[in-house]
């Protein structure tokens, strides 16, 4: 974990989630940016925790991040049962937009990487329309292979954005950031999952009442049945949390 970040964590099946509110997070990021301290954020949901349990590479990658945020009702529920603490839910799509809004107000530049062809450009344009003065450093879709990877890295490094938003899906986006963070030299990087799809208008978020009741997963499954394989991680997550609570291991 990064030095200089004095924020308590709660252990969720081996993944240390930072106990931080949105306000505290934004204030911390502002201080770090002013001090030229680079920051890598990861928004963690139940599926990513399960992936970390099953893959040493993913677990080690999360361990290198600066801040691990509670993205999803499953993490909030697990934190209450395993750590006796109440976390504030920090959905990746909302945190990413807060960063865009902050960037627009301070002149920071943002690069959009990921999603299907055309989506990153559409998302950037929508954010620029919503937040006048927003400085788009560049954009590129996530459909590139190993042969093009160095080209992508060189482009981002040359443009030197203050903030890099990576929408390659978890855990690919986290693995990619971990691999290139040092050479990119961006001030801040965060994996944003399907945020570009939402911003571009191609995908709708779950209604507020469903999010408030922890039913985002049901909405996603109903609108995209192909997610059923990924959703199987949720009952496994619940089972492992309950077993850990009962056994203390």
pLDDT at 127: 98
pLDDT at 249 over 90: no
Confidence tier at 199 by pLDDT (50, 70, 90): very high
When pLDDT is averaged across residues 94-102 and rounded to a whole number, the result is: 98
Residues 124-147, mean pLDDT to the nearest whole number:
96
If one compares 149 and 185, the residue with the highest pLDDT of the two is 149
- Residues 35, 40, 44, 48: what is their CA dihedral angle, to the nearest 10 degrees? -170
pLDDT grade for 1, boundaries at 50, 70 and 90: very low
- Between CA 164 and CA 189 the distance in angstroms is 5
Q: Does residue 3 surpass a pLDDT of 60?
A: no
Q: Where are the alpha helices (DSSP H) in the chain?
A: 22-34, 46-54, 56-64, 73-83, 92-106, 119-130, 146-159, 172-184, 195-200, 208-212, 216-223, 228-231, 233-247
Buried b (16+ CB within 10 A) or exposed e, 230-241: beebbeebeebb
Q: Is cis: bond before 63, omega within 30 of 0?
A: no
Tokens 């893959």 appear where?
A: 55
Residue 137 in tokens: 């450093």
Residue 215 has a pLDDT of 57
Please state which of the ranges 58-67, 181-190, 223-232 shows the lowest mean pLDDT.
Answer: 223-232
State what percent of residues in the chain have pLDDT above 90: 80
Is it the case that residue 183 has pLDDT exceeding 80? Answer: yes
Task: Check residue 203 and give its pLDDT.
Answer: 83
Q: How far, in Å, CA of 156 to CA of 138, rounded?
A: 8
Is residue 232 over pLDDT 90? no
User: What is the pTM for the complete model shown?
Assistant: 0.91
CA 182 to chain CA centroid, nearest Å: 18
* Nearest residue to 108 (alpha-carbon basis) of 128, 132, 137: 137
Task: Give the DSSP H/E element, type plus range, for residue 165.
Answer: strand 163-167
Q: Are 139 and 111 in contact (CB under 8 A)?
A: yes
- Domains of the chain by start residue, with CATH: 1-90+206-249 (no CATH), 107-203 (3.40.50.2300)
Confidence check: pLDDT of 233 > 90: no
């Amino acid at each position: 974990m990064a030095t200089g970040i004095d924020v308590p964590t709660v252990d969720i099946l081996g993944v240390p989630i930072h106990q931080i509110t949105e306000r505290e997070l934004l204030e911390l990021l502002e201080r770090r940016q002013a001090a030229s301290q680079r920051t890598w954020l990861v928004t963690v949901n139940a599926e990513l925790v399960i992936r970390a349990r099953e893959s040493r590479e993913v677990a080690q990658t999360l361990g290198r991040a600066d801040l691990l945020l509670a993205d999803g009702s499953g993490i909030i529920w697990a934190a209450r049962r395993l750590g006796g603490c109440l976390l504030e839910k920090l959905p990746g799509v909302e945190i990413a937009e807060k960063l865009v809004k902050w960037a627009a107000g301070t002149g920071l530049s943002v690069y959009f990487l990921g999603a299907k062809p055309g989506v990153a450009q559409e998302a950037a344009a929508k954010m620029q329309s919503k937040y006048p003065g927003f400085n788009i450093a560049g954009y590129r879709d996530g459909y590139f292979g190993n042969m093009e990877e160095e080209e992508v890295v060189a482009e981002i490094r040359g443009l030197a954005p203050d903030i890099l938003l990576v929408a390659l899906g978890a855990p690919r986006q986290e693995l990619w950031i971990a691999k290139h963070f040092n050479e990119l030299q961006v001030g801040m990087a965060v994996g944003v999952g399907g945020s570009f799809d939402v911003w571009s208008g191609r995908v709708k978020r779950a209604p507020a009442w469903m999010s408030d009741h922890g039913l985002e997963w049901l909405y996603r499954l109903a609108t995209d049945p192909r997610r059923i394989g990924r959703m199987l991680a949720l009952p496994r997550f619940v089972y492992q949390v309950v077993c850990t609570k009962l056994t203390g291991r």
